[in-house]
């Protein structure tokens, strides 16, 4: 009797950890392939890896938020448009309203929270399907971006010296330098965005693992009814999840803006699907209750590695990253389904 | 009183009210602009073709209406949405034009230059739609994957594959026969006819065979249906197949409108419109009972909203803001807690009336 009750959670843990492990191994395999094939073009440099991080800092934040929402069994497809709105607000606000960079960043975060509150209220308290709510949010954010400005804006030193400095600030590593063509030693570096993204990642990991809120996200996703019977406020938890997602999305938007230093209406289209794909590749189930931000992080890294391999090749058509990511997604989804079937058989 | 209650509780009540509201906005606007109130409904015969805002809405809304047919079945049977339809549309259009023009050719302008007859291209597009539908269907029905995740694969890949097929070019097929599908057949815009034929065929199949009932039964309870002797997996698979075919037809119409295959733009965000159409039609996205008529009305409502926006002078980029607000309001009215609240209030009023009469 005792062995049965002990054995069950263990085997469940195993299949989920195994999925995460496969994701991590796959990332290293992909990276190794890149190193072997494009080693002489500099793929082995530490900077190549750091560039993947730099260009995906925003996506890491967004994917963390997406994971939290997906844990509750929901989805948030408004993130891409919200990032575009954030970038536009930052660029336009600093240039035309004469507000300083910190004030604008704060405003962006506040808007993120308000956005999340509205969406969360609709999903949690009005019980509208998350897909529909966040789709409306997506239209709204993209439209508001156009209301602010339909031009392609760029953030340069004239717009905001402070933002420019922070965005271009390089944090150098004390090791791993490479001698460039001019004979100078170039140290690998990361930007402020990467630091923010990694801080967010660690924070969300800890929140999900050790706080009451984090655990209740899993509980609600696992079974709403059971969660309600345990005395959890399901509606409130859902509301909080969407607020968290939109807030992280706004932080991601700032990181994204630091990377692109520009804003336009069509910016970050399809980012929501990148975030969802990353989370799914990382082992988060769309039905809720299963997942981890570490997995999503590696999902983002896999996405980034594929794009940088295609970039290093230089000859492949620009649509290949999409196709490869989709193929990977297919592989992982089938794998998950096979695991689920095996689990059912063991029962 | 009893009769009035019955009307408000019908599934088609809200979608029809939505359409009427949109029309009312139009009439109000026309009157305030000093035009006749029937300006919106005016249909004229200019240059031998029918013109007018109503015709325009019916014409432009055809693709979404065709997609909504397949989407309704998918939503009903599998309690999930097929988010790949927009991309599949683009892929089918690219495949069609690629077959007709030949790989790597960017423009053909007469049948003599065609690499293959037009019929092959059109059939190719439909087959491609079926293949995509079969792929989605196999993942959802036989591997038990959540529909949104399963269709996420083709959402991302189909458009990219289309771009590869077209060698990253916009392939033009400047031919009158090809342009017919998005143009005019006599005085009537062809897309309206195509949509009408699709709707008629589907509703005939649903009425004359038990398919509609099977689909609903699977959507309400997959397990119970299987125990009752239905092959649930096969029915779900079939729904995705139909959805793929619809995407193929919509793809042909969309590319015929511009007589080219613009992989990047054909069907962009169309999956959202199609899902929205289903939701606006009063169908639950949780599966089960469905109303095809509701979805079709939903599809034209979306187009009516869009056309009204342009009519009011709202720019293309800003229109989504209003669309979002309209969608949230409409869906919120249909949300269970709000409905329950309305019912409670109506009941309280009835009680008050009862007390007063006593």
- How far is the C-alpha of A199 from the C-alpha of A233, rounded, in Å? 28
The alpha carbon of residue A171 is apart from the nearest alpha carbon of chain B, in Å, by: 35
Pick from B166, B191, B178, B204: nearest CA to B66: B191
- When pLDDT is averaged across residues B7-12 and rounded to a whole number, the result is 64
Give residue-wise pLDDT tens across range B181-192: 888 888 888 999
From chain A, pick out residues whose CB is under 8 angstroms from the CB of B143.
333-334, 337
Position of tokens 């591997």?
A: B143
Rounded percentage of chain B residues whose pLDDT exceeds 70: 96
From chain B, pick out residues whose CB is under 8 angstroms from the CB of A147.
318, 321
Residue A119 in contact with partner chain B when CB distance is under 8 A:
no
- Judged by CB atoms closer than 8 Å, whether chains meet at B163 and A319 is answered as yes
- Judged by CB atoms closer than 8 Å, whether chains meet at A340 and B159 is answered as no
- Judged by CB atoms closer than 8 Å, whether chains meet at B144 and A337 is answered as yes
Write the CA distances from A112 to A76, A81, A260, integer angstroms. Answer: 13, 12, 20
- How far is the C-alpha of A327 from the C-alpha of A302, rounded, in Å? 12
- How far is the C-alpha of B90 from the C-alpha of B253, rounded, in Å? 11
Is B36 within 8 Å of B240 (Cβ atoms)?
no
Exposed / middle / buried, residue B23 (Cβ in 10 Å: 0-12, 13-18, 19+)? middle
Is B206 within 8 Å of B212 (Cβ atoms)?
yes
Give residue-wise pLDDT tens across range A319-337: 888 888 888 888 888 888 8
- The residues on B that touch A, with CB distances below 8 Å, are 81, 139, 143-146, 148-150, 152-157, 159-161, 163-164, 168, 272, 275-276, 279, 285-286, 315, 317-325, 327-328, 331-332, 335-338
Q: Higher-confidence residue: A2 or B104?
A: B104
- Judged by CB atoms closer than 8 Å, whether chains meet at B328 and A142 is answered as no
Neighbours of A315 (CB within 10 A): 5
- When pLDDT is averaged across residues A131-136 and rounded to a whole number, the result is 85
Give residue-wise pLDDT tens across range A115-127: 999 999 999 888 8
pLDDT at residue A265, rounded to an integer:
84
Residue of A nearest to B139 (CA): A334
Query: Residue B173 pairs with which residues in a beta bridge?
Result: B108
- Return all residues near A310 (Cβ < 8 A) that are at least 6 apart: A316, A318, A320, A321, A324
Exposed / middle / buried, residue B258 (Cβ in 10 Å: 0-12, 13-18, 19+)? middle
Write the CA distances from A336 to A14, A343, B141, integer angstroms. Answer: 13, 11, 15
The alpha carbon of residue A213 is apart from the nearest alpha carbon of chain B, in Å, by: 25
- The beta-carbon neighbor of A143 closest among B160, B285, B321 is B321
- How far is the C-alpha of A155 from the C-alpha of A258, rounded, in Å? 9
What stretches of A163-273 adopt beta strand conformation (E)?
A: 171-172, 178-179, 185-186, 189-190, 262-263
* String of DSSP letters for A148-190: H--S-EE--TTT-HHHHHHHH--EE-SS--EE-TTS-EE--EE
Question: Using 50, 70 and 90 to split pLDDT, how confident is the model at B235?
Answer: very high
Pick from A142, A86, A130, A75: nearest CA to A111: A86
Query: Residue A154 pairs with which residues in a beta bridge?
Result: A262
- When pLDDT is averaged across residues B25-29 and rounded to a whole number, the result is 82
From chain B, pick out residues whose CB is under 8 angstroms from the CB of A140.
320-321, 324-325
- Judged by CB atoms closer than 8 Å, whether chains meet at A325 and B318 is answered as no
- How far is the C-alpha of A307 from the C-alpha of A52, rounded, in Å? 9
- The beta-carbon neighbor of A127 closest among B139, B157, B336 is B336
Neighbour-count burial for B347-358, b at 16+ CB within 10 Å, e otherwise: eeeeeeeeeeee
Is B84 within 8 Å of B155 (Cβ atoms)?
yes
pLDDT at residue A245, rounded to an integer:
93
Name the pTM for this structure. 0.84
Torsion from C-alpha of A105, A109, A110, A114, nearest 10 degrees: 150
Q: What are phi and psi of A188, to 5 degrees?
A: -70, 145
Torsion from C-alpha of A277, A279, A284, A289, nearest 10 degrees: -120
Size of interface A-B (CB pairs under 8 A): 134
Where is average pLDDT lowest: A83-87, B137-141, B163-167, B322-326?
B322-326
Question: Using 50, 70 and 90 to split pLDDT, how confident is the model at B7?
Answer: low
Question: Using 50, 70 and 90 to split pLDDT, how confident is the model at B204?
Answer: very high
Residue B169 has which token pair?
């070019």
Give residue-wise pLDDT tens across range A271-312: 888 898 889 888 888 777 888 899 999 999 998 888 888 888
Task: State the alpha helices, DSSP H only, in B138-286.
Answer: 143, 147-165, 176-179, 190-208, 211-220, 222-227, 232-257, 270-280
Rounded percentage of chain A residues whose pLDDT exceeds 90: 25
Residue B303 has which token pair?
């187009």
Where is average pLDDT lowest: A8-17, B50-59, B290-299, B319-328?
A8-17
Is B45 within 8 Å of B105 (Cβ atoms)?
no
Neighbours of A54 (CB within 10 A): 20
Segment A271-274 long-range contacts (CB within 8 Å, at least 24 positions apart) = A271/A58, A271/A59, A271/A62, A271/A79, A271/A80, A271/A83, A272/A62, A272/A66, A272/A76, A272/A77, A272/A78, A272/A79, A272/A80, A272/A81, A272/A138, A273/A77, A273/A80, A273/B152, A273/B155, A273/B156, A274/A59, A274/A63, A274/A300, A274/A303
The alpha carbon of residue A123 is apart from the nearest alpha carbon of chain B, in Å, by: 10
- Return all residues near B96 (Cβ < 8 A) that are at least 6 apart: B121, B122, B124, B125, B128, B251, B252, B255, B261
Pick from A295, A303, A333: nearest CA to A321: A303
Residue of A nearest to B283 (CA): A129
Give residue-wise pLDDT tens across range B205-221: 988 898 888 998 898 88
Q: Higher-confidence residue: B161 or A178?
A: B161
Question: Using 50, 70 and 90 to split pLDDT, how confident is the model at B1?
Answer: very low
Coil/strand/helix, residue B51: strand
Q: Is the ipTM of this complex over 0.85?
A: no
Quote the distance between the C-alpha of residue A112 and its chain's center.
15
Question: Using 50, 70 and 90 to split pLDDT, how confident is the model at A3?
Answer: very low
- The beta-carbon neighbor of A132 closest among B143, B152, B285 is B285
- When pLDDT is averaged across residues B58-63 and rounded to a whole number, the result is 91
Pick from A179, A170, A148: nearest CA to A264: A148
Question: Using 50, 70 and 90 to split pLDDT, how confident is the model at A186?
Answer: confident
Pick from A77, A60, A68, A59: nearest CA to A119: A77
Question: Using 50, 70 and 90 to split pLDDT, how confident is the model at B130?
Answer: very high
Average predicted confidence (pLDDT) for chain A: 84
Question: Using 50, 70 and 90 to split pLDDT, how confident is the model at B203?
Answer: very high
- How far is the C-alpha of A285 from the C-alpha of B144, rounded, in Å? 13
- Judged by CB atoms closer than 8 Å, whether chains meet at B328 and A122 is answered as yes
Q: What are phi and psi of B12, to 5 degrees?
A: -85, -5
Residue A77 has which token pair?
């497809």
- How far is the C-alpha of B7 from the C-alpha of B14, rounded, in Å? 10
From chain A, pick out residues whose CB is under 8 angstroms from the CB of B152.
273, 276-277, 280, 329
Residue B41 DSSP class? G
Residue A71 has which token pair?
């844990």
- Judged by CB atoms closer than 8 Å, whether chains meet at B156 and A143 is answered as no
Question: Using 50, 70 and 90 to split pLDDT, how confident is the model at A82?
Answer: very high
């Amino acid at each position: 009797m005792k062995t049965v009750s002990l054995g069950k959670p263990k085997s469940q843990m195993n299949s989920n950890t195994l999925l995460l492990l496969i994701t991590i191994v796959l990332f290293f395999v992909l990276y190794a392939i890149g190193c072997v094939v494009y080693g002489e073009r500099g793929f082995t440099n530490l900077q190549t890896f750091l560039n993947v991080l730099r260009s995906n800092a925003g996506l890491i934040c967004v994917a963390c938020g997406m994971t939290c929402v997906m844990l509750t069994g929901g989805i948030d497809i408004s993130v891409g448009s919200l990032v575009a709105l954030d970038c536009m607000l930052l660029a336009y606000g600093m240039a035309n309203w004469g507000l300083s960079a910190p004030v604008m960043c704060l405003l962006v975060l506040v808007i993120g929270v308000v956005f999340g509150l509205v969406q969360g209220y609709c999903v949690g308290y009005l019980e509208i399907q998350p897909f529909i709510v966040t789709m409306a949010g997506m239209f709204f954010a993209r439209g508001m971006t156009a209301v602010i400005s339909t031009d392609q804006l760029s953030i340069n030193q004239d717009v905001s010296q402070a933002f420019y400095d922070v965005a271009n600030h390089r944090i150098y590593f004390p090791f791993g330098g490479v001698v460039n063509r001019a004979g100078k030693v170039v140290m690998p570096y990361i930007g402020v965005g990467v630091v923010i993204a990694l801080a967010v990642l660690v924070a969300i990991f800890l929140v999900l693992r050790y706080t009451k809120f984090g655990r209740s996200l899993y509980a609600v996703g696992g079974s709403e009814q059971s969660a309600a019977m345990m005395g959890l406020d399901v509606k409130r938890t859902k509301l909080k999840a969407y607020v968290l997602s939109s807030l992280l999305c706004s932080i991601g938007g700032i990181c994204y803006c630091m990377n692109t230093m520009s804003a336009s209406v069509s910016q970050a289209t399809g980012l929501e699907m990148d975030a969802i794909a990353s989370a799914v590749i990382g082992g988060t189930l769309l039905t809720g209750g299963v997942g981890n931000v570490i997995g999503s992080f590696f999902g983002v890294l896999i996405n980034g590695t594929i794009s940088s391999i295609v970039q290093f090749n230089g000859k492949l058509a620009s649509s290949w990253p999409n196709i490869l990511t989709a193929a990977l997604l297919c592989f992982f989804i089938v794998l998950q389904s096979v695991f689920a079937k095996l689990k059912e058989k063991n029962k | 009183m009893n009769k009035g209650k019955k009307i408000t509780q019908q599934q088609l009540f809200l979608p029809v009210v939505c359409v009427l509201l949109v029309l009312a906005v139009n009439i109000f606007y026309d009157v305030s602009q000093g035009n006749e109130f029937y300006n919106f409904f005016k249909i004229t015969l200019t240059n031998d073709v029918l013109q007018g805002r109503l015709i325009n809405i019916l014409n432009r809304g055809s693709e979404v209406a065709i997609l909504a047919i397949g989407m309704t079945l998918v939503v009903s049977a599998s309690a999930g949405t097929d988010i790949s339809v927009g991309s599949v549309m683009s892929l089918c259009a690219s495949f069609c034009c690629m077959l007709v023009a030949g790989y790597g050719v960017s423009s053909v302008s007469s049948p003599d230059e065609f690499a293959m007859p037009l019929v092959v291209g059109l059939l190719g597009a439909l087959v491609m739609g079926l293949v995509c539908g079969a792929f989605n269907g196999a993942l959802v029905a036989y591997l038990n994957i959540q529909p949104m995740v399963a269709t996420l694969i083709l959402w991302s890949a189909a458009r990219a594959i289309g771009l590869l097929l077209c060698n990253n070019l916009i392939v033009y097929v400047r031919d009158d026969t090809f342009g017919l599908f998005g143009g005019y057949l006599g005085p009537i815009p062809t897309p309206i006819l195509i949509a009408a034929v699709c709707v008629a065929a589907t509703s005939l199949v649903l009425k004359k065979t038990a398919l509609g009932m099977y689909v609903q039964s699977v959507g309400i309870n997959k397990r119970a249906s299987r125990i009752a002797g239905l092959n649930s997996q096969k029915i779900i698979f079939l729904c995705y197949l139909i959805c793929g075919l619809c995407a193929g037809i919509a793809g042909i119409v969309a590319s015929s409108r511009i007589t080219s295959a613009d992989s990047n733009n054909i069907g962009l965000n169309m999956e959202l419109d199609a899902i929205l159409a289903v939701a606006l039609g009063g169908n639950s996205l949780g599966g089960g009972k469905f109303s095809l008529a509701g979805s079709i009305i939903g599809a034209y409502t979306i187009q009516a909203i869009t056309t009204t926006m342009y009519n009011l002078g709202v720019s293309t980029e800003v229109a989504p803001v209003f669309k979002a607000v309209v969608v949230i309001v409409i869906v919120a009215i249909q949300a269970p807690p709000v409905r329950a609240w309305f019912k409670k209030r109506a009941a309280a009023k009835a009680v008050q009336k009862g007390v007063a009469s006593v």
